[in-house]
Amino acid sequence: MPALAYCVDATAAPPPGYAFAGDSSLPSPDLFPGGPPETTIFTSPVSAPTSENLSWSPSLSSSLYKIDGWGAPYFSVNGSGNMAVRPYGTATLPHQEIDLLKIVKKASDPIRSGGLGLQLPLIVRFPDVLKNRLESLQSAFDHAIQSQGYGSHYQGVFPVKCNQDRFVVEDIVKFGSPFRFGLEAGSKPEILLAMSCLCKGNSDALLVCNGFKDAEYISLALIARKLALNTVVVLEQEEELDLVIDLSKRLFVRPVVGVRAKLRTKHSGHFGSTSGEKGKFGLTTTQILRVVGKLKQHDMLDCLQLLHFHIGSQIPSTTLLADGVGEAAQIYCELVRLGANMRVVDIGGGLGIDYDGSKSPDSGLSVAYGLDEYASMVVDVIRSVCDRRSVKHPILCSESGRAIASHHSVLIFEAVSASTYEVPSMSSIELQYLDGLTDDARVDYQNLSAAACMGEYKTCLLYADQLKQRCIEKFMDGCLGMEQLAAVDGLCALISKAVGELDSVRSYHVNLSIFTSIPDFWGIDQLFPIVPIHRLDQRPSVRGILSDLTCDSDGKIDKFIGGESSLPLHEMEGNGNLSGGGGRYYLGMFLGGAYEEALGGVHNLFGGPSVIRVMQSDGPHSFAVTRTVPGPSSGDILRVMQYEPELMFETLKHRAEEFVQEDDDGCEGIANSLAMSFRNMPYLGSPSSCFSDSDTDYNGAVDSGSGDDSEQWTYCYA
């Protein structure tokens, strides 16, 4: 079959520059009358640079990625085009800002070069941010209490389920000690860690014990009471009261009891399923009355001192908050009327954060209020209800884990390569394969050619798709060869490119496991801000989705804040691959400090990231690394799944001795490489990490990725 132009009637005048025989290329988009629609990577309200204005700036990147919306006051873009952390929020001075790229370089550079030798992905923790979030929450309630003449105080608790990491919890206890800030636990291990940590906290700090309980759980809570910890056993189910009464008498301890009320107030947002009358936890009004009656019967009504409730996580508006708090305040006043020794209202979790920067009450990713509005509404509603009922103002408590922990942690990962569909160039020889098309396919081809000459690019796409589908069917029937099918694919791709309809979204392959590090994205479609942490003084020129290392089709991120299905990204220098010759391209996931680490699994046996703890410092780089924890090795992860890495290594070593020739140190080299693989992280590394030094014995180092070398990383200052 002749080239495309030969299928057009000879009397038809082709557009200027149309390619005829001897030139198999298709016309470029501007040769179609009117031209195809222009495409751009920018869908947010940022003007793309025109031919008159090709400049780019960090402020444009900040607007493009909505950093000021979701990141303020802790994250910004600095003058170098890198993401910067402002550890003290609005009080951060310019010289105190911390450049994230410098942290990554410090963490990932080899030890011999002055780095820490850590492998990515990397979690960077900022205790200063954690402290500022806690202080800001306390300040918001203190201001509301003082301005409204409230007759009691606020003392919150941190729900350790949000992030059970030892150093996070210990930091919260330390930073919160001046405010009587406590902990909330929901399981026996969580009670144990909370008891241990609070031994160093404020003696008035609350230990709130939630969740399903058995005899051992309640015994632990009562033992905590005997250890002079301010412990409250919150009844989630009515039958738990019998255990509390029985065990408290056996242990000779007077318990402090709370009840969780199952409110009728419910929100319909992303996290609203835990609220309302059909919520998982809590007691109905009828059950609460029976609890009061039983406590009175056992002369223990004075033990009932706390009312707990939970409207749902990520409460979208203060209007909904006021409804729930108002309902709970009425229950509190009724319990006072019934003779209970009520002292505390625990409003539970629900204080939301703005993941997408929209400040919208209609988005499951945002909230239409700040800390001050939240605290003011809570104080105002409870004060008003108690004043009307002539009830003393209670101590206010909240379990605001997401709002405290989310901002302090940043997940850094690397894009190692990028793929995109390259439109092939077609020679006259390749086009000759089209001569073997069937008659009906020839008709599609002729219609396609005619539409191209008339500049009807939408019709071109229609006929191109029809031609392609018809040829696929013939190939499936065995009537068409692979060369002919490839020629049709190439022709259709050229046409799509010519009319501007070729899919330009690239797949960026990232050194990460979505299931391990961002499980909420996969599990509940939770979105987090994801931004390149450098090159933000350059205009992003492509759009991409992120594809992780797992052998799972779900292991990709193709939804982003702002309703986007792709993310503006920069071209990777030298394709950025790990074989060398390319520049690194780093991205950060922000606001993931709550829940993600606790929920992550070991899908495909990828373990957690390395962790680095960074505090603001007056040194040359404005930060100091105070603790590092290398990520778990392949041996560590195998051990979690009941394998024995030491025995596995010995089995493989003996196999090598049996089948590998001894010349060129082949057996020893294989054994060393196997040992190195057991002790390395499962994520992609540099090629040099696959080979061991010939003078190093790794046979004794396969049981852990944290040997003597890791100890010297523990305290290292930038």
pLDDT at 251: 95
- Average pLDDT score over residue span 192-219: 96
Type of residue found at 133? R
Q: Any catalytic annotation for residue 551? A: yes
DSSP string, 401-459: HHHHHGGGEEEEEEEEEEE--PPPP--HHHHGGGGG--HHHHHHHHHHHHHHHTT-HHH
DSSP structure class, residue 268: -
Q: Are 602 and 640 in contact (CB under 8 A)?
A: yes
Answer with the residue of higher pLDDT: 706 or 568: 568
Answer with the residue of higher pLDDT: 44 or 115: 115
3-class DSSP state of 498: helix
Domains and CATH numbers, the chain: 58-124+407-416+517-631 (2.40.37.10), 127-406 (3.20.20.10), 428-499 (no CATH), 635-685 (no CATH)
C-alpha to C-alpha distance for 511 and 283, rounded to whole angstroms: 46
- Residue 36 above 50 pLDDT? no
C-alpha to C-alpha distance for 35 and 573, rounded to whole angstroms: 32
Tens-place pLDDT, residues 208-237: 999 999 999 999 999 999 999 999 999 999
77, β-bridge pairs: 83
Token readout for 371 is 């800390």
Segments in 557-689 forming alpha helices (H): 596-599, 634-640, 645-659, 666-679
Q: Are 232 and 182 in contact (CB under 8 A)?
A: no
DSSP string, 333-356: HHHHHTT----EEE--S-----SS
Q: Give the active site residue among 551, 667, 690, 716.
A: 551
C-alpha to C-alpha distance for 205 and 155, rounded to whole angstroms: 8
Token readout for 234 is 């919150």
Token readout for 62 is 């900040």
Residues with Cβ within 8 Å of residue 496, at least 6 apart in sequence: 423, 461, 464, 502
The two beta strands, 623-629 and 395-397, are unpaired
Q: Hey, how many other C-beta atoms are within 10 angstroms of the C-beta on 166?
A: 10
Max Cα-Cα span within the chain = 106
C-alpha to C-alpha distance for 566 and 511, rounded to whole angstroms: 18
Selection from 636, 417, 626, 604 nearest residue 517 by Cα: 604
Type of residue found at 200? K
Tens-place pLDDT, residues 513-552: 999 999 988 888 889 999 999 999 999 988 999 999 888 8
- Residue 33 above 80 pLDDT? no
DSSP structure class, residue 560: B
pLDDT at 305: 98
3-class DSSP state of 585: strand
- Rounded to the nearest 5 percent, the helix, strand and coil shares of the chain are 45, 15, 45
- Residue 368 above 80 pLDDT? yes
Q: Global pTM?
A: 0.82
Tens-place pLDDT, residues 649-706: 899 888 888 887 766 567 788 888 889 999 999 988 865 454 434 333 334 433 333 3
